[in-house]
């Protein structure tokens, strides 16, 4: 059964398996102890740290191991905000960050801090100039490398509570694969004296993150390492106050006994996958291109989303009009293909993906295909062969639950109480019978309608006039 959900987790890399088994025999002791077994464990931990730091592009004493990528992100955000509280209480994030970063931002707001959210274009990418415009002066010596960055200008001390303490930007999006302009944003942050935290979970296995970033977090299960290992790098010169009670482990930034065998396996596999990255990318990118090109021709009313050029080599996301994403996931699973639908972090909820919402694209009928490194052309062809029937079966299972009535101002579709994509389906049924220039009002109380109706208008070339409460107005073009 082909597994096409590598963006969520990848199978254990052979190097990781070998390192894990070896470390289970050699790395069980406490690396903080001075006896022979402890010294052996400390040597393994130090070697793993050096290997991971080289892969990240930082110094070994700048990198700590955390229990997960989410923990690393939470610790990175909280530690930088606390360490730079004199610079200000403003946090800048993109609208498409991983939910771990957005949850940390919400917690910061709840505690009285300020959060600025940078919009993205329809491909899911931030504009460096828009990101830079939301920064506020900070202490330049604390950003990007601080005292280790020669020639870095210093801003005036004491910028006040309105100053930006931290900015966050992912290296590549988890849902659509769009690669962000991290190097440009990092330069803007350094000029403003604001440290930049990069979520590199999706991209680190493909290579180092460029630019003068200040903090970086990643997760081993994304590149073929074992689950339960995260990385947090904090550059020298960045003011950082570890959150929570201090602990002697990992400099207080990740308290608790280290999972040494998993750490050794994570570091070894990271080095291995980066060494293989160029060859794997050259092999997977044409397979993803095949899916991107085939889906719109094989599936009527389908749209491939995400930046078409600046993207990860193994990931493609598309949305199918008039289909439920979760039902489509189950249909494809029944056909033998494991994919994900909607947001990888919110698929268990009834709210639309925050990433797709920020991009202004369709959220229903959304499928993310992320190919593991061993994927073959035959497996991709087999997926494309079953996809049209899977979509057709899901579309055919939907039952209407709305009524339409002509009024003096046009046509009103009452879809209250129905879930998307039904409001969009009912809109599509009546729009062709409405004279050009007339207005269709759709009454819908499903949260996803606020994203899907404007996105449908964008795809179909109709004019979205806006919404008042549960009434969405569309002018036929």
**Active-site amino acid positions:** 345
Round to the nearest angstrom and report the end-to-end CA distance of the chain. Answer: 45
**What angle separates helix 377-397 from helix 325-334, to the nearest 10 degrees?**
130
- Residue 255, CA atoms < 13 Å, CB-side half-sphere: 8
**Cα distance between residue 96 and residue 172, in whole Å:** 10
**In 274-334, beta strands by DSSP E:** 302-305, 315-320
* Phi, psi of 107, deg, nearest 5: -65, -40
Burial of 198 (0-12, 13-18, 19+ CB in 10 A): buried
Nearest-angstrom CA–CA distance, 170 and 70: 13
Q: How far apart are CA 427 and CA 456, in angstroms?
A: 10
Alpha carbons within 13 A on the beta-carbon side of 199: 29
Cβ neighbours for 309, distance < 8 A, ≥ 6 positions apart: none
Q: Find residue 5's DSSP bridge partners.
A: 370
CA–CA distance, 291 with 370 (Å, rounded to integer): 11
Helix (H, G, I), strand (E, B) or coil at 264: helix
Helices (H) and strands (E) in the chain, counts: 12, 16
Cβ partners under 8 Å of residue 295, min gap 6: 302, 304, 318, 384, 387
């Amino acid at each position: 059964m082909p597994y096409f959900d590598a963006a969520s987790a990848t199978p254990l890399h052979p190097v990781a398996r070998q390192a894990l088994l070896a470390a289970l025999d050699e790395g069980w002791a406490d690396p903080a102890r001075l006896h022979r077994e402890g010294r052996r464990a400390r040597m393994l931990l130090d070697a793993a740290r050096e290997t991971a730091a080289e892969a990240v592009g930082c110094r070994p004493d700048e990198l700590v191991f955390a229990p997960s990528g989410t923990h690393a992100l939470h610790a990175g955000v909280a530690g930088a905000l606390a360490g730079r509280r004199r610079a200000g209480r403003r946090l800048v994030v993109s609208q498409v960050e991983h939910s771990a970063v957005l949850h940390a931002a919400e917690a910061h707001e709840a505690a009285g801090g300020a959060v600025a959210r940078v919009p993205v274009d329809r491909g899911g990418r931030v504009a460096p100039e828009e990101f830079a415009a939301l920064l506020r002066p900070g202490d330049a010596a604390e950003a990007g490398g601080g005292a280790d960055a020669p020639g870095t200008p210093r801003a005036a001390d004491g910028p006040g509570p309105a100053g930006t303490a931290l900015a966050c930007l992912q290296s590549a999006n988890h849902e659509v694969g769009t690669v962000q302009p991290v190097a440009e944003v990092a330069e803007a942050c350094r000029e403003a004296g604001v440290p930049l935290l990069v979520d590199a979970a999706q991209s680190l296995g493909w290579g180092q993150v460029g630019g003068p970033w200040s903090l970086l977090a990643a997760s081993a299960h994304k590149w073929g390492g074992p689950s339960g290992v995260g990385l947090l790098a904090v550059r020298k010169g960045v003011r950082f106050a570890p959150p929570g009670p201090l602990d002697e482990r990992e400099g207080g930034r990740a308290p608790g006994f280290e999972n040494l065998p998993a750490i050794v396996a994570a570091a070894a596999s990271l080095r291995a996958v980066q060494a293989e990255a160029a060859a794997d990318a050259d092999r997977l990118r044409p397979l993803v291109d095949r899916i991107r090109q085939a889906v719109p021709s094989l599936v009527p009313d389908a749209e491939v989303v995400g930046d078409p050029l600046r993207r990860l080599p193994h990931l493609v996301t598309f949305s199918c009009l008039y289909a439920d994403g979760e039902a489509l996931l189950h249909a494809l699973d029944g056909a033998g293909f494991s994919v994900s639908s909607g947001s990888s972090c919110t698929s268990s909820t009834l709210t639309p993906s925050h990433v797709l919402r920020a991009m202004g694209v369709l959220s229903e009928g959304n499928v993310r295909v992320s190919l593991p490194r061993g994927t073959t052309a035959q497996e991709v062809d087999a997926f494309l062969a079953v996809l049209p029937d899977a979509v057709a079966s899901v579309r055919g299972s939907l039952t209407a639950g709305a009524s339409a009535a002509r009024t003096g101002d046009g046509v009103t579709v009452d879809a209250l109480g129905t879930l998307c994509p039904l409001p969009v389906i009912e809109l599509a049924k009546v729009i062709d019978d409405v004279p050009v220039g007339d207005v269709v009002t759709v009454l819908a109380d499903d949260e996803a309608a606020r994203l899907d109706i404007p996105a449908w208008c964008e795809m179909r070339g109709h004019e979205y006039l806006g919404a008042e409460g549960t009434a969405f107005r569309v002018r036929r073009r």
